[in-house]
Structure 1
Amino acid sequence: AVAHGGGDGGGGDRGGGARSVDRRVVRGPARFIPTADEWCHEFSWSGVPKDGSKTTVQPNANKFKKLSVIPTSMYHNVSEVRTNDDTLITVKLMLFFQLDSIEKMLACTNDPIADFVNAASADVIAFCSGLNYENFLTLTGELNKLETFSQLTTRAHMIGYTISKVVFRGFQAGEKLQAMHDEAIQERTRLRLLEETQEQQQRAEDMKLEGERRRAKMQACAMMLPCGFVRVWWACLPMFALCNRASCVREQRNFAPTCVSDRE
């Protein structure tokens, strides 16, 4: 909590001097009861309206007296962002931030949420203004980097905050453009699947033709080899017969005693 208290400055009210106001920060957890001359500071920041969406921010919608210093996050949609080919889109972001210096925040801003919204919107507009719609689709990953949000990080540092992360949650185009984009995606997907199917069919046809070619080659070799072999075998048949007869006679002469001894 932030408490303000009255004090005399320059002689007090008797001499007509201005009365000073002291400010002190009470850190919790603690039970705080202001004194008779103190009052609690009431914060009035931009926030989510009670009857609105979580991605919309309304000025003075969040009023409180206890300041949270833990890391927190907020949704933010940057609507009607125009690319350099006059395409209107809505960029969806999520900002993660943490309060580092309460004194700097109190001295430099009355509404840090509004500062974050304005700075993030300026960075997104600057990013999209140099791209056409097709280039934006390929470079959406850059919106997840803190380097893209230089104005946001600089402003946060000036008011005592730290932006830890920015998450790109997607985008939304107009209804007609979104319908055309969806049709283009479906057509590209259909063509890619058709190309893959044709490639598989071509590979299967190539394998079939290669198998038929090898089979035809083997059949041609099988038809040529038996003819040559028959000619050679028919010409050499008498020689083979004589050789076989002579070998049989020699085998009988050489192995006959052995066979007799074996029987005995």
Structure 2
Amino acid sequence: MTAPIALTIAGSDSGGGAGIQADLKTFSALGCYGASVVTALTAQNTRTVALVEPASLAMIAGQMRAVLDDLDVRAVKLGMLGGAQAIATVAGGLDGCGLPIVLDPVMVAKSGDRLLPPDAIDALRSLLGCATLLTPNLPEAACLLGCAPATTPAQMAEQGAALRAMGAGAVLMKGGHGEGAICTDLLVTAQGATPFSARRLSTRNTHGTGCTLSAAIAAGLAHGLPLEQAVGVAHRYLQRAIAAADDLCVGSGHGPVHHFHAVWSHG
């Protein structure tokens, strides 16, 4: 039996905790073969993003053609895409592909460093129409909508519906930036809103959580799971990866989650 193939189109994290590296680890942990299109190189660790160097538009397009012309890709995850022209190049490469697409609108790294130029936000909005699922955190959702971040479940549902109205097929409003002992993500679809809740874990090692969650959902879709089931599996996987994150002891800042917590541990 051949493993399903998932494709990540995102930036490289030299520290290994987020971006392409986190996506490929997640795909592998969840039984998918991972392919990649690198949109940018970053000089990055658990404390900071020191340098970002975008890939050329020709290289982005060439990688996409090489992968999609040969590999039987079953789902696509979009992460850090770079500027407006890079976003347009990715959109063109995916046009008519007919694949489920999970769009993680990466704007700011865990360190606080900006990963999306302000002038590219309109281009990112134009990409919503190709997304099977959009996975913004609360600040990202607010930025895309031009409003204040949601602070209540009702506001999360309203903003998710507004993002669907902008073109996204479904929206997973991530509650990690909220407060309280329980962290709730809200899946907003045409059928309504479904919560996915878990105890908020106390750890500073949360680098790459957004990348990991969206990649895990893409892996579920590549396996042929319905969207709500794929989100549920991914949500549980991420919670376990966060719970095991302190076992890794990587770096002195926001360390990564433990993508292979089910396979090995140093705790």
- After TM superposition, is the score higher than 0.5? no
TM-score by length of 1: 0.23
Q: Which has the higher contact order (CA 8 A, sep 6+)?
A: 2
Q: Which of the two has greater helix per residue?
A: 1
Find the structure with the greater CA-based Rg.
1
